[in-house]
Amino acid sequence: MPKSTPKSPATSPAGPSPRELWKEEPDEHDYPAARNYLSLLVGTDEASKLAKTLERRVGVEHYMAKDILRASALPLLPADDKEVAKDLHKVQLGEKLSPVLLVRGTPLWVADGYHRVCASYHLDENASIPCRIVDRKT
């Protein structure tokens, strides 16, 4: 009897498990991207402080894609959005995505990783997404 070869997570019918989608730590280039975005909301000085706080934060917390979208009031981008499609393609290739950077408040700010959240939602809206999250001053 021939042995069956196990399929890689990225090609199995069920797709990769949530843990296999994500890196343990954000990429270094995520923090300047977060700072740039946040500077549009709170100015350069406060954005720099928030980005540094995100960078110094140890570990990640996990939230579902659907909850991140609801708390941020951001719409779900379609799977064929250029950046979302890039992230979905990375997952198909077995590449891991960088955790998302969030700033807690009302609404939640997705400082970096909006397209990754949308890609994750398209794969499984209930999947757990690793996030670095800090509180914003009110």
For the chain, the first-to-last Cα distance in angstroms comes to: 66
Q: How many Å apart are CA 131 and CA 110, to the nearest integer?
A: 10
Kindly state whether residue 72 falls inside one of the protein's structural domains: yes
Kindly state whether residue 87 falls inside one of the protein's structural domains: yes
Kindly state whether residue 1 falls inside one of the protein's structural domains: no
The number of domains in the chain is 1
Q: What share of the chain has pLDDT > 70, as a percent? A: 86
68 has pLDDT over 60: yes
* CATH number of 105's domain: 3.90.1530
- Sorted by sequence, the CB contacts under 8 Å of residue 26 that are 6+ apart come out as 54, 98, 99, 101, 112, 132
Query: How confident is the model at residue 75, as a pLDDT?
Result: 98
Which tokens belong to 70? 């609801």
Q: How many Å apart are CA 94 and CA 133, to the nearest integer?
A: 26
Of 90, 99, 101, the closest CA to residue 19 belongs to 99
Domain residue limits at 45? 21-135
